[in-house]
Amino acid sequence: MLKEDILTCLRQGGYVSGEQLARRFAVSRNAVWKAVMHLRKEGYAIDSVTNRGYCLTAAPDILQIAELQSCLGAQAGLYEIFVYDRIDSTNREAMERAAAGAAAGTVILADTQTAGRGRLGRSFYSPPGTGIYMSVILRPDLPLSQLPLITACAGTAVAAAVDRLYGTDTGIKWVNDLYLGGKKFCGILSQASIDMERGTPEAVIIGIGINAAKGAFPDEIAEIAVSLEEAAGKRVRRAQLIGEILKNCADMEAQIRSRSFLAAYKRRSVLLGKEITVHAPDGIYTAVATDIDENAALLVTTADGSVKRVDSGEVSVRIFKGVEQNGEK
């Protein structure tokens, strides 16, 4: 569509003349002008200067497929995106679509969730207009033992996108929580349907929840949660961040096979070297987090010197001392 093509072009920055745009898209200058007027009506601030042309100076924070595709640029073809104003849970919707045969690269986004799901049966607070609630369907050809790597890889992808856009230094609390300034701003919930015969996942859903814009949190999480805008001190445009995250997720299966993301994941860890409490189904114990192994399990050393391998399944960990807290919602 002309409007989206022009937007993609203007996103590259600087002024582009109406004549150049008209030639490039084989339309009249009047058609270009009309498309620019449409974009302005949608909230895009487009400057126009005689003899220089048009320049995009600000874009609205709306979740629209065209806007998202334009942020994805050359990688737009890798994803099929569905946007809901309101949904119970994007993970639930993605699981259903995956069961019905939806392809890898299907993305479900919502402006608000009425029953957002968190880890360990918790809920995820998902108010309208301020968050990113996104589920991505993958169909990786990986053994089940490597599934925890998907969450870790997704966490690294989100952290890298955030840091690139806002100049932050995002920490990751094993296995799925993203932190800035000691508070959680993002959680990831991966769910899978399994092919029992092959012992491989049929589909994996990566559910990413980000507190993007400033807003009040309910009392029970106000102390431990933060919005990205507040933590980074920068304006967050959701479509831009989503685009950046999806770009980083594009070659996720290859990253998992080669473990190329693992060093960055470990470097971001807020647990390694710290004394933590492990809440496992068979009890609670204190240990020092010493390493993360090649399948993203956490290795801890207990007081008697024995090393335990902690799988993510039913476990949550808390930093025993220090400023960081659990931050689970």
| Binding residues vs ligand BTN (CB under 6 A) | 89-91, 113, 116-119, 122, 124, 133-135, 177, 187-189, 207-209, 328-329
Distance between CA atoms of 43 and 65, rounded to whole angstroms? 15
Closest residue to ligand BTN: CB criterion? 187
Distance between CA atoms of 245 and 208, rounded to whole angstroms? 10
The interaxial angle of helices 238-249 and 147-166, nearest 10 deg, is: 140
| Residue that the structure tokens 């890298």 belong to | 160
Question: Cβ of residue 123: shortest distance to ligand BTN, in angstroms?
Answer: 8
Read off the DSSP letter of residue 119: G
Closest CB to ligand BTN among residues 32, 208: 208
Distance between CA atoms of 277 and 246, rounded to whole angstroms? 33
Closest CB to ligand BTN among residues 238, 329: 329
Cβ-Cβ contacts under 8 Å for 223 (sequence gap 6 or more):
325
Closest CB to ligand BTN among residues 132, 232: 132
Question: Cβ of residue 275: shortest distance to ligand BTN, in angstroms?
Answer: 23
In this structure, the number of other CB atoms found within 10 A of the CB of residue 274 comes to: 18
Closest CB to ligand BTN among residues 15, 84: 84
Closest CB to ligand BTN among residues 118, 243: 118
Conformational region of residue 3, where left means phi above 0, alpha means psi within -120 to 50, and beta covers everything else: alpha
| Residue that the structure tokens 């004549």 belong to | 19
Q: Give DSSP secondary structure letters for 217-273.
A: PPHHHHTTB--HHHHHTS---HHHHHHHHHHHHTTHHHHHHHTTTHHHHHHTBSSTT
Work out the angle at residue 139's Cα, subtended by the Cα atoms of residues 136 and 145, and round it to the nearest 5 degrees.
Answer: 105
Distance between CA atoms of 224 and 117, rounded to whole angstroms? 18
Cβ-Cβ contacts under 8 Å for 306 (sequence gap 6 or more):
none
Closest CB to ligand BTN among residues 3, 184: 184
Closest CB to ligand BTN among residues 95, 287: 95
